[in-house]
Amino acid sequence: MTRDDFVTIVNSKLKLVRTEYGLTQDKMAVILGISKKSLVESEKGRRSISWTEAVALTSIFDRSTILNDALGEDYAAMVSALALQDVEISYPSTMGGKIWWREIKSVNGYRIQQNIISNHYRILDDKDRRLLSSFRLEQIEEYLADIS
């Protein structure tokens, strides 16, 4: 999945989420920090919401059944993976992938895992610290080859 794919999915669910929460267009526009005109244009398919607006919507309405059905329950991890794709940062320790992850490969204490909902990948070290997340397995494997 790319940022554009994510935005397209969220944009297509915008009106349904607004309706799910019983919000008027005026209230939803205020919540998202956009004009009512922009919201109406987005709901009618004449304008797409931006990446930032899609992230705001999914963050604010993180318990939406509509969004859960479209993106899976752990779409916050998906947003992080998309936002941080191709960026190396120092991640905190994870829980080791005991719940939403399947192990793809293990080499010299490093593990490649794939999220069962969003299908993005990550590399964990021997202390369960995430080293890299990406939707591209080849990027993850290249990184693993460089560090192992």
| Burial class of residue 89, CB neighbours in 10 A (0-12, 13-18, 19+) | exposed
Give the residue extent of every domain in the chain.
3-71, 101-147
Question: Residues with Cβ < 8 Å from 25, sequence gap 6 or more?
Answer: 18, 36, 39, 40, 43
Minimum mean pLDDT range among 75-79, 90-94, 143-147: 90-94
93 has pLDDT over 80: no
What is the structure's pLDDT at 104? 95
90 has pLDDT over 80: no
H or E segment at 13? helix 3-20
Instruction: Give the pLDDT confidence of 8-32 residue by residue, as tens digits.
Output: 999 999 999 999 999 999 999 999 9
Class of domain 3-71: mainly alpha
Instruction: Give the pLDDT confidence of 105-137 residue by residue, as tens digits.
Output: 999 999 999 999 889 999 999 989 888 888 889
Instruction: Give the pLDDT confidence of 42-86 residue by residue, as tens digits.
Output: 999 999 999 999 999 999 999 999 999 999 877 888 888 888 887
97 has pLDDT over 90: no
